[in-house]
Amino acid sequence: MMNFDTPIDRRGTGSLKWDRRVDLDPYWVADMDFTSPPEVISAIRERVDHGVFGYAVPHPSLVETLQGYLQDRISYSATEEQIVHLGGLVPALSLAARAFGKPGDAVLTCTPIYPPFLGIHDDASMELQTVDHAKVDGHWTFDWEALEAKVTPQTKIFVLSNPQNPMGRVFTKEEILQLATFCEKHELILLSDEIHCDLILDEKKTPHFSALNLPEPLRDTTITLLAPSKTYNIAGLGYAFAVIPNDSIRRRFTAARGHTLPEINCIAYHAAEAAYKHGEPWRQDLLAYLRTNCDLLTSTIREKIPGATIPEIEATYLAWIDCKDLPIENPIQVIEKAGLFLSDGAYFGHGRCVRMNFGTQTERLKSALETLVNSLR
C-alpha cells in the first residue's frame, strides 16, 4: 500500500504549485503532493534508459491499453481512429473552439468553472456566454431555463466539466441526457472534459456517466476529453486524448491543429500506458486517502467557519468554499495574509469564493485548515 503520509520537499524543483509564491504555503493548482505509482516511475526509467528521445508516435500497446481502459471504465468500445492523442487537455479546449467556431460565434458554459473554459473563446475570436449553476435539492445542477434564455443561433459549443471542477459534482445520467438533448436542439457541439472521472470518491453512490455513454444520435456530436494526468499526478508530462465517434467532427477537430500544438514527448506516452495498465491498486489507495482528507476538510469548514458553505464533494481533490456570507470583502486577500495560497474564485467566474486543493498529506492539511479557520473567523 502506498504511504501517502510521507512529506515530499517540492521547493526549488521548478514546481508551478510550490515555486510561484515561495512566501506562501500552496493549496491551489490541481496537482497532488504524492509521488506517482511505482509502475509509472519504472516505465519512465525504462524509457529513459533507452537513451534516444526522438519524435514519437503512439505505440500499439498504448492504443490497446487506452481501448481497454475505455471499455473497462466507461463501457465504450473505441476504434483506434476515434482516439485523438493530444499534448494536454487545455490546448484541446482551445482547439475545439477554433475548429467549430468563427468570429462572432459563441461558446456557452456554466459557472463556476475551471478558468480556461472562460478564455478559450478568445483563441477563436468568439463570444463567451455563461450561466450560473443552480442549487436544487441540495445539489448543484444546470439551470435549464437560464440556459434556454442564454443560448442564441450564434452559440456553437457547450463546454462541460464532469466531474465538475471546482464544485466536485458528478452529474447523473439524467442530467447528461438532458444536457445532450439541449445541445442537439440548438445544434451545439458538446465538449465534455472528463479529466477527473477516475477521482470519484464513491463510485457506487455517484457513478460516472460519460458523454460516450449517450445513445448514438446524441453521442454523435460529442467530443470527450480524458487524461491520466490528474489521477496519477503526471500533469507535467503533458498527455491527454480525445474520443470523437463522428468521422466528420473528428476531421474538423484534427484539421484545426495546424502547426499550433507541440509534439507529444515519448516519455508521456509510456507513462500514460503504465498508469492505465498498472495503476488501479494505487488509484484505490489514493481514493481512500482522499476520502479521509475530504471528510476532514468538509467537517472543519462547516463546523468552524459559520457562514462559509461547501458543497458535497463527490469527486476530485478540490474543495469549493463559498465565502459570500462572511463579513469579508476579499477572502483570498485575508487568506494570503495568513500565509496560505488558495485559488481565487474570481478566476472561476465567482468572486468571494476560494478553491482549496486537499490532495496532500493529512497532517499538512490539518495545519492549513487551522490557519484557514483562524483567518476567516
pLDDT, tens digit (0-9, with 9 covering 90-100), for 95-135? 999 999 999 999 999 999 999 999 999 999 999 999 999 99
- Pair 34, 362: CB distance under 8 Å: no
CATH (domain of 290): 3.90.1150.10
Q: Does 286 share its domain with 165? A: no
Q: Is the pLDDT of residue 140 over 90?
A: yes
Q: Are residues 200 and 322 in the same domain?
A: no
User: Confidence class of residue 223 from pLDDT cuts 50, 70 and 90?
Assistant: very high
Predicted pLDDT of residue 371: 98
| 302 lies in the same domain as 336 | yes
State which H helix or E strand residue 222 sits in.
Answer: strand 222-226
- The pLDDT, as a whole number, for residue 258 is 87
Percent of the chain at pLDDT exceeding 70: 100
39-96 residue pLDDT tens:
999 999 999 999 999 999 999 999 999 999 999 999 999 999 999 999 999 999 999 9
Given a contact cutoff of 8 angstroms between Cβ atoms, the answer to whether 282 and 2 are in contact is yes
Domain with residue 186: its CATH number is 3.40.640.10
Of 278, 297, 328, at which residue does a domain stop?
A: 278
Q: What is the pLDDT of residue 260?
A: 84
- Band the pLDDT of 302: cuts 50, 70, 90: very high
How many independent structural domains does the chain possess? 2
Pick from 75, 29, 37: nearest CA to 273? 37
pLDDT at residue 21 in the model:
97
pLDDT, residue 138, reads: 84
Cα 348 to Cα 365: distance, rounded to the nearest angstrom: 23
For residues 170-195, give the mean pLDDT.
98
Q: In the structure, what pLDDT confidence band is assigned to residue 367 with cuts at 50, 70 and 90?
A: very high
Confirm whether 8 is domain-assigned.
Answer: no
- Res 2 pLDDT > 90: no
Owning domain of residue 208: 52-278
> Is the pLDDT confidence value at 357 over 90?
yes
Single-letter amino acid, residue 152: T
Give mean pLDDT, residues 148-168: 98
Q: Is residue 14's pLDDT more than 90?
A: yes
pLDDT grade for 259, boundaries at 50, 70 and 90: confident
pLDDT value for 262: 85
SS3 sequence of 143-212: CHHHHHHHCCCCEEEEEEECCCCCCCCCCCHHHHHHHHHHHHHCCCEEEEECCCHHHECCCCCCCCCCHH
| Model pLDDT, residue 170 | 98
Residue 22 pLDDT exceeds 90: yes
93 and 158 inside one domain: yes
pLDDT at 169: 98
* Residue 337: inside a domain: yes
Q: For residue 1, name the pLDDT band (cuts at 50, 70, 90).
A: confident
Within this chain, do residues 160 and 295 fall inside the same structural domain, yes or no? Answer: no
Average pLDDT for 240-249:
98
* Domain presence at residue 335: yes
Residue 43 within a domain: no
The backbone torsions φ and ψ at residue 134, rounded to the nearest 5 degrees and listed phi first, read: -110, 145
Q: Note whether 216 and 133 are same-domain residues.
A: yes
Domain boundary among 236, 257, 278: 278
pLDDT on residue 376: 95
> Do residues 269 and 298 both lie within one domain?
no
Look up residue 27 and give its amino acid: Y
- Name the percent of the chain lying above pLDDT 90: 97
Does residue 220 sit in the same domain as residue 343? no
Q: Does 187 reside within a domain?
A: yes
Q: Which of 278, 312, 341 is the last residue of a domain?
A: 278
Domain match, 343 and 258 both = no
Q: Do 200 and 143 belong together in one domain?
A: yes
In a domain, 37, yes or no: no
In a domain, 2, yes or no: no
Residues 164 and 101 in one domain: yes
pTM beyond 0.95, yes or no? yes
- Same domain, yes or no, for 96 and 232? yes
Query: Is pLDDT at 377 greater than 90 in this prediction?
Result: no
Instruction: Report the side by side order of strands in the sheet with 106-111.
Output: 83-86, 240-243, 222-226, 189-193, 155-161, 106-111, 127-132
